[in-house]
Amino acid sequence: MGKHGGDTTTKPRALAERTGSPGDQYTVTRAGRHGEPALFGLRMGRNVTDAQLAKLGGAQPDASVRLFGASDHKSLFLDIHGANNAYYATREVIRDAQGLLTIRNHNLEVHASGRDLGTRILATQVKQASRFNVARLETKAARNDTRIPPTTGYRAWPRLGYDATLPASIHAQLPAGLQYAHTIQDLYRTQYGRQWWEQHGTTLDMHFDVKAGSAARKMLSAKAAQLGIDWKTL
């Protein structure tokens, strides 16, 4: 997925500024004239800091973040560049048809080596999202085996708690021993189901339940602990 919408042709109203506490800072630019109205339209409060918004996108310390609102003031976009080109992410904050605050994670490209960066980004985002009463995260968990390196979101995100209802076309392909499964996480409850999905799975729209105590949160917390990520420091 690429960049989405916003004030890409207007001049930033201010120079980029450093924000956040020592050791946990970001360079944030509020671009265009629609950012403040978008925050008001999303009912996120009057005292939201740039550092809080950066973390809402999963930004890690020393990231550069560009914030801009859609012209209809119904969504806020974040373009995030990790320090030393470690990763690039795009996010969109909206309220859905039910009025629930939702974050669409349009893109995450991890360029740095290491096993924990993607997990750390998601954990940072989930922790901050819970503070803003965000209901869910959404993403298109993609598969592209021809790309170098391959795109593996379809199997990476379920390991961290993302879920989706299996389309009828996928369910029809399930072997007899997996016919009980109706969601991705139904498959991931067994090694057999997980192996089947990781071999036969495809691009799918997935969601992450942010609320405390959810199955998604428990999976993410367990993975973070396994990787030695201290939730309190995020």
Instruction: Mark whether 95 and 158 lie in a shared domain.
Output: no
Domain end, chosen from 94, 114, 134, is at: 134
> In which band, very low, low, confident or very high, does the pLDDT at 13 lie, cut at 50, 70 and 90?
very low
Assessment of whether the complete model's pTM goes beyond 0.95: no
**∠ CA 51-52-53 to the nearest 5 degrees?**
90
Instruction: Mark whether 208 and 155 lie in a shared domain.
Output: yes
What's the full length of the chain, in residues? 234
- Domain span at residue 99 reads 1-134
- For residue 10, pLDDT over 70 is answered with no
Domain end, chosen from 102, 134, 166, is at: 134
* 27: in domain: yes
pLDDT in tens, 37-87: 788 778 887 688 889 999 999 999 999 999 999 888 889 999 999 999 999
Instruction: Mark whether 45 and 117 lie in a shared domain.
Output: yes
CA distance from start to end of the chain: 26
- For residue 23, pLDDT over 60 is answered with no
Instruction: Mark whether 92 and 2 lie in a shared domain.
Output: yes
Count of domains for the chain: 2
Instruction: Mark whether 188 and 165 lie in a shared domain.
Output: yes
H or E stretch at 61 = none
Instruction: Mark whether 153 and 109 lie in a shared domain.
Output: no
What confidence score (pLDDT) does residue 146 get? Answer: 95
* 233: in domain: no
Q: What are phi and psi of 10, to 5 degrees?
A: -95, 155
- Six-digit token string for 16: 């980029």
* 166: in domain: yes
Of residues 215 and 1, more confidently modeled: 215
**Span 199-211, mean pLDDT?**
97
* 234: in domain: no
* 110: in domain: yes
Of residues 113 and 108, more confidently modeled: 108
Instruction: Mark whether 186 and 110 lie in a shared domain.
Output: no
Instruction: Give the chain's mean pLDDT.
Output: 88
Instruction: Mark whether 191 and 106 lie in a shared domain.
Output: no
Spatial separation of the C-alpha atoms in residues 158 and 141, rounded to whole Å: 9
> In which band, very low, low, confident or very high, does the pLDDT at 114 lie, cut at 50, 70 and 90?
confident
* 46: in domain: yes
Instruction: Mark whether 151 and 122 lie in a shared domain.
Output: no
* 64: in domain: yes
What confidence score (pLDDT) does residue 46 get? Answer: 67
* 119: in domain: yes
Return the beta strands (E) in the chain as ranges: 17-21, 24-30, 64-69, 75-81, 87-95, 101-110, 136-141, 143-144, 151-152, 204-209
